[in-house]
Amino acid sequence: MTDKQKKFVNFILWICMFAVVAKILFTLFSSHRIDSYGLFVLSIFVASLLELHTFGKMSYIGGDSKGRQTDEMEEHIVRVSSKISYFALMVIVLIIMSVTEYLDGQEGFNNIPLMLVFCATIVTLPFVQFLVAKKYK
């Protein structure tokens, strides 16, 4: 991807992000609810923008070139950041789960889907490591 293409994609991503944020705010102020699909689309745009600035490519929206070789530094960044992001995600889910339970104020645990997500974050890394180890043994 050339510099001119990167600047153009960067510009388009920022415009799309502002449009989605405007839609989310409009929905929030008009109907007093948060647009979950808007948050999902916004997260894809933010991830694409960050990946564009980090590696100069975008795999989230189909801009990854298959013939492009990755260097050792990029592989190291991906390896280290994936493990850090896994544990950060686990902490974020725990905080969200704790806050929703505290604000709910009822006895017992009522948010079963969030508890399942938290349990999945605990099990995911060891399970993937097990599968990868089986592949190489």
Residues 53 and 102 in one domain: no
* Number of helices (H), then strands (E), in the chain: 4, 0
List the single range of 10-14, 20-24, 86-90, 128-132 with lowest mean pLDDT. Answer: 128-132
Same domain, 97 and 44: no
Pick from 44, 66, 88: which residue ends a domain?
Answer: 66
Q: Where are the alpha helices (DSSP H) in 32-111?
A: 36-55, 72-104
- Cα-to-chain-centroid distance, residue 8: 23
> Do 60 and 1 share a structural domain?
yes
Looking at the fold, whether 73 and 136 belong to one and the same domain comes out as yes
Q: Are residues 73 and 62 in the same domain?
A: no
How far apart (Å, rounded) are the C-alpha atoms in residues 106 and 101?
Answer: 8
Q: Which of 5-14, 20-29, 50-59 has the lowest mean pLDDT?
A: 50-59
Calculate Rg over the CA atoms of the chain.
19
The reply to whether 56 and 6 lie within a common domain is: yes
Per the model's pLDDT, the better-predicted residue between 32 and 106 turns out to be 32
Range of the domain at 14: 1-66
Give the best-scoring range by mean pLDDT among 13-17, 31-35, 37-41, 133-137: 13-17
Last residue of a domain, one of 46, 66, 86: 66
Mean pLDDT of the chain: 80
Q: Are residues 28 and 77 in the same domain?
A: no
Burial class (CB in 10 A: 0-12, 13-18, 19+), 48: buried
